[in-house]
Amino acid sequence: MSCFSLLALQKKGDTPTFMSKLEPIEITEGDDFQLSCNVTGRPQPEVQWFRDEVLIKPSRRFKASYDGNVSALTVKEAELDDDGVYKCVVTNNFGSVSSKADVTVLKKHLRPERDYAPIFEEKQFLEPLEIQVRQPVEVSYHVRGRPKPTVTWWKNGKELRDGKHVEIRSGGTYHTLYILRSEEEDAGSYKCLARNDVGSAERLFEVQVEEPSVTWYRNKNEIVPDGRSRTTFDGETYKLILQDIKIKDAGQYECIASNPIGKAFCTAEMTVNKREAPVFVSKLRPLFVTEGDNVSWMCKVAGMPRPTVEWYRDNQPLRADTRWKMDFDGRVCSLFLSEADCKDKGVYNCVITNSAGSAFSSAELQVDKKANKPKVIEKMNDVQTVEGTEARFDVRFSGLPRPEVTWYRNSIKVRNESRFHLSEDGDRYSLTITDTKLVDTGTYKCVATNEGGKITSRGDLDVRERQFAPEFYGDDELKEPVVVQESDAINFKVRVRGKPVPTIVWYKDGEMVRDVRRFEIRSRGDIYTFATYSASAEDAGTYTCEASNKLGK
């Protein structure tokens, strides 16, 4: 049995760094100009440009670009107001840096009218430029001349062209050569040549590229490669690989890189623990969320060596994407889901594995549909009816979850009892009132409520009085002939009902009785009485009671 460990000394991130900073430039009104600087940093930083501390927004004349190495601000058709202090601010999670430069915009008539040959403001380099492998190279010259010189760059007698490895930039009177990532073949003799119609000028410089020497140490003792250890270099990273790790391999490791220019080092502490099968210190727990919510699962784990983590939903592996984020720092493994959907529900499993074994924890995710405020699909209508009949209100609501409804009459809650009956059929809600009374008249409302809110629908109930033609009922004293003795009292009594209340007229032998001195006509409720207290022979005859209203008689 064998095992191995890979010790690669790399940082997870770096503060942004300017490999070359902004340089002041002087340009003439109407000319285009460009400010540029080389920037590094991990993760790739964000870049902002300012003029006199005011953020520069992209426009027709201002355009900013950043390709991961060179940040540039290009300004078209310079105006006098473009004069000022320009600043490039570079930021990532590890920090922020900035570089400033003055930009001077001259009026056209201030430019000298005399033509002259190109002039380099900088002196000739006396010593070679010594560069470390994979480091950027930047050489800038300030060149003046009239007419404006053409500037070209040369290496070992061959003209250099702008490309992926070499970038050539000009901004106003500044001209810069960038080698983004130096290699050994970049060493050589370089020349910057400026020409115009009057003459030419040049600057020469040598570039030397050094490959650093790398040595590894453990507890200050140099590590000599043997059967269990070896070193590699892939052009990017120096690695120390240890196989069949043992307890005695624990300690402080140091990597020292050096060349004639200087040296750099980094250290790391390695702890060797006994092999342990992975276990869950804290397990997943079921989650119940609403559609659109974010989901976060975290569980603590232990195990040696550090376990790998895999996530599954309903036994199907999950892959990180724009919605799913997975993280594991060696102790806590996390699963994040943004804006959960109903299709995301299921049983989730976290599986941890190392060379000593594996373990899993599972939990269910339940996603409920998002609450939607109730809406009126079909509003309640006004109802008119006659007392004693049935009245019914209907209203239809939508909403998720299904809303609960409450009925009111003139702000008093209506309960499902006596003459009032509440019912539901799907999204239709009904209130039925049997044997309606005049007092039932009023405004009725149905209030639908759920987690998303509430809404109300209203309708008026108008209960009108029931009208009918007069009718006699009960014992009718006029049905049979009445015989009395002279001077006896006569008393006829009838019961009449009708709506509107009927008008009562008494007749004798077809003639309306008008003599109220001898006859007394009374009414009490629906009882009507015709009487005389002393009958005479002339009172004999046929008596008729007539009841009438607008519906009949």
Instruction: Please state which architecture CATH assigns to domain 213-270.
Output: Sandwich (2.60)
Cα 397 from Cα 376, distance rounded (Å): 5
Instruction: Please state which architecture CATH assigns to domain 468-548.
Output: Sandwich (2.60)
Q: State the Cα angle at 255 between 250 and 261, rounded to 5°.
A: 165
Q: Which pLDDT does position 478 carry in this prediction?
A: 65
DSSP letter string, 431-469: EEE-S--GGG-EEEEEEEEETTEEEEEEEEEEEEPP-EE
Helix (H, G, I), strand (E, B) or coil at 343: helix
pLDDT band at 476 (very low <50, low <70, confident <90, very high): low
Cα 241 from Cα 232, distance rounded (Å): 8
pTM above 0.75, yes or no: no
Query: Quick one: three-class SS letters along 101-162?
Result: EEEEEECHHHCCCCCEEEEECCCCCCCCEEEECCCCEEEEEEEEEECCCEEEEEECCEECCC
Out of 111-115, 432-436, 439-443, least confident range: 111-115
To the nearest whole percent, how much of the chain has pLDDT over 90? 39
Out of 5-19, 96-110, 458-472, least confident range: 5-19
- State how far Cα 256 lies from the chain centre: 48
Which residues sit opposite 361 in a β-bridge?
A: 350
For residue range 352-382, list pLDDT tens digits in order: 999 889 999 999 999 988 878 899 999 999 9
Where do the structural domains in the chain lie, given as residue ranges?
Answer: 14-106, 116-210, 213-270, 276-368, 372-464, 468-548
**CATH topology for the 116-210 domain:** Immunoglobulin-like (2.60.40)
Q: Which pLDDT does position 149 carry in this prediction?
A: 92
pLDDT band at 290 (very low <50, low <70, confident <90, very high): confident
For residue range 145-184, list pLDDT tens digits in order: 888 899 999 999 999 998 888 899 887 788 899 888 888 8
Please give the class, per CATH, of domain 276-368.
Answer: mainly beta
Mean pLDDT of 402-419: 92
Omega before 43 within 30 of 0, i.e. cis: yes
Q: What is the CATH number of domain 14-106?
A: 2.60.40.10
Mean pLDDT of 67-91: 90
Cα 482 from Cα 112, distance rounded (Å): 145
Residue 299: other Cβ atoms inside 10 A: 19
**CATH topology for the 372-464 domain:** Immunoglobulin-like (2.60.40)
Q: Which pLDDT does position 518 carry in this prediction?
A: 76
Mean pLDDT of the chain: 87
Q: Is the pLDDT of residue 1 over 60?
A: no
pLDDT band at 311 (very low <50, low <70, confident <90, very high): very high
Cα 27 from Cα 33, distance rounded (Å): 7
Q: Is the pLDDT of residue 383 over 70?
A: yes
Convert 446-477 to b/e letters by CB count within 10 Å (16 or more is b).
bbbbbebeebebebebebeeeeeebebeeeeb
